[in-house]
Amino acid sequence: MKIWNLVFFSAWTAAKGLLSVNQHRQKMCLWFMLAAFSLSSPAQASLISMNSTYGVDTITLDTDTGLEWLDVDTALTYQIQYPLRSYNDVVSQLGVGGLFDGFRYAIRSEVEALLYSSFGFDPVTSSSSDTVTLADKSAAGSLMSMLDYTLGWDHGGGSFSKVLDAVFDDENPDGPVGAMYVFFGVDHSNNLTGGKVSFYSQTYTSSNTNPYGHFLVRPTAINVEEPPATSLAALALAMAFGLFWRAKKAGV
């Protein structure tokens, strides 16, 4: 976060000048202050698992976007009969009093932001099985640990495969359904596998009979605003002034 770097630098410069003839204790105090800033600096994206009326850990809050993502398989769990819940079926449950009241389908740009910015897939390397990296595979594992998956197989001996196969709203007026597929697993040698992100064409979506998950989102009720820059700068100045005062008092 740029503002935190700026605050770091300002505090460091100010305090360094004041402590140029310093004692060991005050130097330690400076390092402590910088470490405190480092620890309190917001992460690039915070993904927080939360409980909801759908069950334990069924919501993932992305503090970067302020969106709450419902586990992709929740609509499967909430279905009452086979065949599995379709896009149109879920749409019919989004209104007041429906099973997914308050939610809407995520649009493609929101799905991409979740994958590439928040979970850390590389949009280039994750687009092909030939180029996926270990980071893409790890991102797939993190994604499924938070948003769940729609199909899974246990191969025994610690080896498993999981698939997250979910639809979103691609805002196509001819039929607003898009779908995304990610595979993740661990082979018998304990190596991560998968990590490829595949966006389906609409045609494939409408013809696919496999069960889909659903990317449903709602705005969070939790305030995810970062502290204003002015108060961060004021905090840094106050801490620098505190060091200055201590140095004066110690007669340095």
Cβ 148 to Ca ion shortest distance, Å? 5
Tokens matching residue 156: 């025994």
String of b and e for 88-118 (b: at least 16 CB within 10 Å)?
eebbebbeeeebbeebebbbbebbbbbbbeb
Residues 95 to 154 in contact with Ca ion, rule: CB under 5 A = none
Q: Which residues contact 200 (CB under 8 A, 6 or more apart)?
A: 178, 179, 180, 181, 208
Residues 35 to 94 in contact with Ca ion, rule: CB under 5 A = 57, 71
Cβ 71 to Ca ion shortest distance, Å? 4
Residue with tokens 């009241």: 101
Contacts with Ca ion by CB under 5 A: the residue count is: 2
CB nearer Ca ion, residue 43 or residue 56: 56
CB nearer Ca ion, residue 53 or residue 190: 53
CB nearer Ca ion, residue 55 or residue 219: 55
Tokens matching residue 170: 């691609």
Tokens matching residue 38: 């480092």
Cβ 73 to Ca ion shortest distance, Å? 9
* The residue type at 61: L
Report which of 38, 201, 47 is spatially closest to residue 139, judged by C-alpha positions. 47
CB nearer Ca ion, residue 7 or residue 67: 67
Cβ 147 to Ca ion shortest distance, Å? 6
Contacts with Ca ion, residue ranges (CB under 5 A): 57, 71
